[in-house]
Amino acid sequence: MENKTKDAGTAKIEIDGKTYDMPVLSGTHGPNVVDVRKFYAQSGQFTFDPGFTSTASCESQITFINGEEGVLLHRGYPIGQLAAQATFPEVCYLILNGELPSKSELSTFNDEIKQHTLLHTQLDRFFDGFRRDSHPMAMLTGTVGAMASFYPGAMDSEDPEERRLASIRLIAKMPTLCARILKYNLGQKFVDPRNDLSYAENFLNMCFSVTAEDYKVDPKIAKAMDRFFILHADHEQNASTSTVRLAGSSGAHPFAAVAAGVACLWGPSHGGANEACLNMLHEIGTVDRIPEFIEKAKDKSDPFRLMGFGHRVYKNYDPRATVMRESAHEVLDLLGLKDQPILKVAMELERIALEDEYFAEKKLYPNVDFYSGIILDAIGFPKQMFTVLFSLARTVGWIAQLNEMLVDPTQRIGRPRQIYTGAAMRDYVPMDQR
């Protein structure tokens, strides 16, 4: 990767009468950054930023977010345009390679993905070790990590062909793995991939086809699935992506680094939010109970939060939520579920929260998870599978970001520092004197 930051001046940090000059760098879009890489060497002091709210951890050319204005771009293209006009494999190609594919490039890419959808049969035996009622994310974390054992060549991250192959394998095998996780939970036979179907159709078929009856993939449902994948494909340096980069920065196997990303995505503050949001909508149940839940969310002594609202970066409408909202209406219309009370609750909750002073003042808008759970539920996925579907979609972002890091000449092993506030140095006390 060619580093492209530009010189944008100097920042002065003054401590105890001494001034330290730090370079300021600019990128294509977004705020400038103060380059503090040499700050410790020069001053003997660290910067302190738990949660990284003011820290850029890397230079990246993949995704840009302007949270104040609700903008999300992949390689410069707005997410709304990609969701409306592109397919998920096309977006994968774009994210991995930097440019939209030509017709023949896309066809070659699709063909190559299809050549790698099968799992090693040995991998199926891992499932026997899991309880039938295991959380799907526990199985995904374990099996993605286990896949590393089948592709030892991918450890050679210096080799561009190994990096490319690892990316294709991950994107191709994730749907097969995720569908097997669902089938294992259901106690049904695994369904193998079919190369005559599109990426989204094949995934739906592996999830919902049973030996007694073929699953007829509705093109509109396949489109909604494909759009869900596009909307979750990448999101710059979020917690799971930063985890993948950090794990990979030691030279770890790419499948193991992605398994670390899966583990991070599991939590309810990140990928687990759509499951939590759907639970909350069911708990609210009817429109007349919404005010009670809004009050709970505002009450500082109550830990309850309105799931699907708020975002670390977006302080405006999450642009993915706008597309997801449309998709939810389309899917429920198609399945004849549009009068479902849950959709009414969601729409009314959104309206009331957007008008409420507390949410307006804190800039808490619906995020992508607010509507995605409704769609996935309507398609027929159990709630526990929602974060697995998010992982499937985010795999391309994780591997693209990892590959970008591996070829960044400024890359070093990630090693944050700390401010220590524990016990001061003291002498060991022998057991009989304590």
Residues near ligand ACO (CB under 6 A): 269-271, 273, 297, 305-312, 362, 364, 367-369
Question: For residues 229 and 200, is the Cβ–Cβ distance under 8 A?
Answer: yes
Least CB distance from residue 291 to ligand ACO, whole Å? 14
- Supply 366's token pair: 């619906």
What whole-number distance in Å separates Cα of residue 351 and Cα of residue 286? 15
Rounded to 10 degrees, the C-alpha dihedral 175/179/180/181 comes to 110
What whole-number distance in Å separates Cα of residue 370 and Cα of residue 220? 21
Least CB distance from residue 232 to ligand ACO, whole Å? 8
What whole-number distance in Å separates Cα of residue 93 and Cα of residue 83? 14
The smaller minimum CB distance to ligand ACO, of residues 223 and 311, is found at 311
Residue among 269, 252, 239, 89 at smallest CA distance from 174? 89
Question: For residues 97 and 404, is the Cβ–Cβ distance under 8 A?
Answer: no
- Supply 353's token pair: 């929260």
Dihedral class, residue 30 (left if φ above 0, else alpha if ψ from -120 to 50, else beta): left
Residue among 392, 395, 376, 394 at smallest CA distance from 384? 376
Q: C-alpha angle 116/119/120, rounded to 5°?
A: 115
Question: For residues 111 and 167, is the Cβ–Cβ distance under 8 A?
Answer: no
Q: C-alpha angle 391/182/271, rounded to 5°?
A: 25
What whole-number distance in Å separates Cα of residue 348 and Cα of residue 286? 10
The greatest distance separating any two alpha carbons of the chain, rounded to the nearest whole angstrom, comes to 79
- Whether residue 253 lies in the annotated active site: no
C-alpha dihedral sign at 205, 208, 214, 220: negative
Rounded to 10 degrees, the C-alpha dihedral 68/74/75/78 comes to -70
Least CB distance from residue 412 to ligand ACO, whole Å? 27
Q: Which of 74, 311, 318, 356 is an active site residue?
A: 311
Question: For residues 368 and 325, is the Cβ–Cβ distance under 8 A?
Answer: no
The smaller minimum CB distance to ligand ACO, of residues 113 and 178, is found at 178
The smaller minimum CB distance to ligand ACO, of residues 213 and 361, is found at 361
The smaller minimum CB distance to ligand ACO, of residues 75 and 311, is found at 311
The smaller minimum CB distance to ligand ACO, of residues 147 and 230, is found at 230
- Supply 73's token pair: 């771009």
The smaller minimum CB distance to ligand ACO, of residues 201 and 275, is found at 275
Least CB distance from residue 18 to ligand ACO, whole Å? 34
Least CB distance from residue 1 to ligand ACO, whole Å? 26
Residue type at 146? Answer: A
> Helix (H, G, I), strand (E, B), or coil: what is residue 318?
coil
Least CB distance from residue 76 to ligand ACO, whole Å? 22
- Whether residue 311 lies in the annotated active site: yes
Residue among 282, 309, 315 at smallest CA distance from 368? 309
The smaller minimum CB distance to ligand ACO, of residues 308 and 397, is found at 308
| φ/ψ of residue 314, rounded to 5 | -75, 120
Least CB distance from residue 243 to ligand ACO, whole Å? 13
The smaller minimum CB distance to ligand ACO, of residues 151 and 266, is found at 266
Q: Which of 234, 318, 356, 369 is an active site residue?
A: 369
Least CB distance from residue 369 to ligand ACO, whole Å? 5
Cβ-proximal residue to ligand ACO, closest one:
310
What strand order describes the sheet that includes 33-34?
6-15, 18-26, 33-34
Least CB distance from residue 95 to ligand ACO, whole Å? 17
The smaller minimum CB distance to ligand ACO, of residues 30 and 160, is found at 30
What whole-number distance in Å separates Cα of residue 265 and Cα of residue 144? 13
Catalytic residue IDs:
311, 369
